[in-house]
Structures are given as C-alpha cells and as structure tokens.
Amino acid sequence: MPEILLATANARYSHAAFGLRYLLANLGALAERAGLAEFEISKSPHEIVEAIVGHEPKILGLGIYIWNIRLLTEVVALLKRVRPEIIIILGGPEVSHETEGQEIVHLADFTIQGEGDIEFPKLCSALLGGGRPLMPVISAQPPHFSEMTLPYTLYTDDDIAHRVLYVEASRGCPFTCEFCLSSLDIPVRAAPLEPFLAEMDGLLKRGAKQFKFVDRTFNLNMRVGAAILRFFLDRIKPDLFLHFEMIPDRLPEELRSLIQQFPTGALQFEVGIQSFNPEVQSLISRRQDNFKTMENLRWLHENTQVHIHADLIIGLPGETVESFGKGFDTLKSLGPQEIQVGILKRLRGTPIIRHDDAWHMVYSPQAPYEILSNKLIPYESMCRMKRFARYWDMLANSGRLARSLPCLLDQGSAFWRFLDLSDWLWKTTRQTHAIALTRLFELVFQYAKDTLKDPAWLRVFALALCDDYRQDGRTDVPTYLAEFEIPALPKPEGHRRQATIRQARHQMD
C-alpha cells in the first residue's frame, strides 16, 4: 500500500491528471512509496472515500480544480471523520488563492499555493520523517524546468490507448487578461527543447496519437513553435492529433508554411478571442490586434486544414448583448469550425474583481462562479445568453446540423437568428439538456417553418435537414418532411450506424 496517495477527480475518464503525474515524477526517492488514484466527478463522495481508505495512505495529496471543488470538499469532510489520521495536502489552482474562507482548506492539514512540484516532495519528506511544519498554508515559488523531472513516462499504456495526453513545452503567459489565472503567471518559462522532444518521441513510439499542449501561448516563441511543428510533421501518421492554444494576432510566415503541410484532422488551434470590442479589451487589460486576428483566422480557414476552436466570453465588463452579438457575427464570418461561447467566471485570484463595483458584477458563490448579472446585462438576459451558449454547443459545435444550420443563419445576423431560435426552443421545451437528437431535428424544422414563410427556401432547408438527419446512417425520411417528397434511401447491406457527433478529440476543454 502506498504511504503517499496522489488523487483527484477528473471531469471525465478521458482527461488524465497531468498535475498529479508531475508531482509523482518529482517525488525522487519517495516515488516508490507513492501511488496514483484518479476518479471522475460522476462518482459519489462515499465511493471516492471508500477507495481512498482502501489504499491506507499516510499522506493524501488532492488536486483541487474548479470542476471538483464541491465534490472534494465533501470527500475531505468525510475522510476527516472516518480516517482523521490521514494527512491531507491540497494543491491546484482552486486553492492557490483566497484560501481564508474556503471550507476545504480549513478541513485539510496543509495547502500548497502555486506549483507544488518542488514543495510537495519537501513537505512529504518532512512529514514521513516525523516533522510537521507550523504553517498550514505553504506558498510555492514557480519552479524552473531545470529543477523538475518531466512526467511523460508515467503515462501508462492504457492512458496512451484511451486518453488525451496533456503535455507542455512552457508554463506562464506574457499577457495580463484580468479574467484569467495565467495572467498571474509571469514570466513564461520554457522547457529545454531537446529533452522535451525526446519525451514526445518516446510517447509516439509507444503509440500515442492525441496530444493536448496546455501552453497558454504556443506561438509566442517562433523558434520553439516551429521546432515543435516540424518535429511532429516529420513523424506524421494517421490519427495523429495535436491541440494548441495560439495567440490570435501572431502568425508569421515560418509558422504558416509549416501549418499548411499538416493533413486534415491533425491540427486543432484553440483561439481565445474573448471579445472584439476595443473598449472591453482595454478594460480587461487584453492586448489584441483585431485586424491582424481577423486576417489570421481568415487565412487559416482559407489555406489550411486546421480545425479552429474559437472562444468568446459573455459577461465581460463593458460588453452588452448587442456588442457581443456584433463580435459573434464577425467571428462567425471568419469560418471557425467551433465557436465556444463561455460565460465569464470569477476565478479565485484574478484581478477581474476590480470591476465589481463600477460594473455591478454579481457572480454565483458556488463553483464554477459564473456571472449572474452586471451593469449592462441583467440576470434575465444573462440566463438567456447561457441558454444561447448551451443550444449553440448542442446544435452548431456538435456538427449535427452541418448543412441545415448555415441555411438558417444566412438569413441575416447569425447571432440574432440563433438567439431567436434559442428563445423559441426554450419556450417550446423548457429544456437545455436531455433532448433526443431526433426531437431536436423536428424542433428546428418546426421553428424554420413557423418563422420563415418562403416555400422555396423552406424546401432547400428541408433537404439540407434531411441530409443532416441521415449523416449517422439513417435512410428514412422523417414524417414531418413527408410533404417535400424526399425519396428514402436503400439501406446498405451490413450497414452499421455510427452516430455523428463532434469528434471526441475536438472535445478537449
């Protein structure tokens, strides 16, 4: 049984706990006395506690994040009742700031604020040696890569076969966007390139196919970014998939020429736009050249096979529904495959709180601390925008309406048309989850029929919708489309239906 157990609750099984593997890799001589336990947030607190107790650890290190804070608070409370002798050490972004009022921090024995790669082994060594630090909250200084052991050999064969592998060539961010925790992590620290690429080569030789780079600014250092792209391009193989976060207004020719050489499905860029409103950008200390950003996105759409996942945020100070909608339409016109509409979250430690009074920013007190209202968007309108975001993900980002939705959105402003559809769906169903796919198709058709009266256009839309309906292998014609006399398709012999949903490798957030 391990004396030190590293554990967390992941959002889903496909997410491997990168931070825990870094801690395990850097335990040194203590590594052979340590173990790893990963759970999912779908588990009950009692199931997790029973599993932890079964390991009989002396020390439990828990990774705390915005998605698991509520669950793991209950886990720690239960553990302190049934096994009070287990020393519980917390770490992770959710307990790295504003610890004073956090229940889980008061329940645990120790909390490490910041990156614990160096401090966690020191604390464990002291505790197992019989010592006990006086201070329950320990502030860790950001370590340099030269001080750390890279964790990639700790990915198991099962991880490689079934999970997204998280990797990083750097830590930190040079920008100061006030809603983001990375704004506190300056300067950028780069991993030594050759040892890092050697580790990537090792993973590829073991059969790894999906890599998610968690670097905040993959294209900040052109030499490093180009070297990484060239490395994977030289080893390209079927099903290789690379996810990078990129600075939207920085894409020089050297990177462009490399990006163009990647085949369809190999590259995904997460592009944080957040807002196209210059006044909002100024308020939140975000430096972004909007013209260059639009030029780069347009170039990627027209000249590469990159899958673009672009982010916008609703609820930022100074942003109205109308200005958000204008930015949404601008982004939509640039052709990204996905637009992620995020709701502003008040992450612990971020300087966005300086706007609370002036902009009447009101957030939920419970994780994930989403904004409820502000000076420009009242609560009712914020609820409306949250439904917009949910329906957009369900209908647009999923790819389920790849042919028919563009027909609908081409009728004027994409934002206002989809917001109208969102309002109609909510009024009709009072649901934003658990709507059967076949029911969704019927609802969208009914909206189009009720709203847009042109018979010629409706027939075009019906044909496109039927194509979408059939993209997972169906051959029939839905009864509500019978009036358009669309012929049924012959069912292929030995056909196996495959559901058409957004590819799992594109669902990495």
Residues 190 and 46 in one domain: no
pLDDT band at 181 (very low <50, low <70, confident <90, very high): confident
Residues 321 and 419 in one domain: no
Residues 407 and 328 in one domain: no
pLDDT recorded at residue 491: 75
Question: Does residue 296 belong to any structural domain of this protein?
Answer: yes
Question: Does residue 357 belong to any structural domain of this protein?
Answer: no
314 half-sphere exposure, CB direction, 13 A CA radius: 28
Provide the domain count of the chain.
Answer: 3
Domain CATH code at residue 103: 3.40.50.280
Residues 177 and 311 in one domain: yes
Residue 240 confidence (pLDDT) above 60: yes
pLDDT recorded at residue 492: 66
Helices (H), 138-192: 157-162
Stretch among 36-40, 349-353, 505-509 having the lowest mean pLDDT: 505-509
Question: Does residue 366 belong to any structural domain of this protein?
Answer: no
pLDDT tens, position by position, 248-270: 999 999 999 999 999 999 999 99
Residue 495 confidence (pLDDT) above 60: no
pLDDT tens, position by position, 382-422: 999 999 999 999 999 999 999 999 999 987 899 999 999 99
Residues 136 and 17 in one domain: yes
Residues 16 and 95 in one domain: yes
pLDDT recorded at residue 507: 55
Residue range of the domain that includes 421:
400-509
Residue 501 confidence (pLDDT) above 50: no
Residue 509 confidence (pLDDT) above 70: no
Are 133 and 9 a contacting pair, CB within 8 Å? no
pTM for the full model?
0.93
Domain CATH code at residue 318: 3.80.30.20
Residues 412 and 500 in one domain: yes
Question: Does residue 294 belong to any structural domain of this protein?
Answer: yes
Residues 98 and 166 in one domain: no
Residues 119 and 167 in one domain: no
Stretch among 85-89, 355-359, 407-411, 493-497 having the lowest mean pLDDT: 493-497
CA 488/CA 500 separation, integer angstroms: 19
Stretch among 97-106, 143-152, 182-191, 239-248 having the lowest mean pLDDT: 182-191
Answer with the one of 89, 116, 143 that is the final residue of a domain: 143
Residue 130 confidence (pLDDT) above 50: yes
Nearest to 144 by CA among 109, 187, 204: 187
Residues 139 and 14 in one domain: yes
In sequence order, what are the residues at sequence separation of 6 or more whose Cβ sits closer than 8 angstroms to the Cβ of residue 410? none
Residues 417 and 309 in one domain: no
pLDDT recorded at residue 502: 44
Answer with the one of 119, 143, 167 that is the final residue of a domain: 143
Residues 107 and 39 in one domain: yes
Question: Does residue 493 belong to any structural domain of this protein?
Answer: yes
As a whole number, the mean pLDDT across the chain is 94
Answer with the one of 143, 165, 189 that is the final residue of a domain: 143
Q: β-strands 59-63, 87-91: how paired? A: parallel
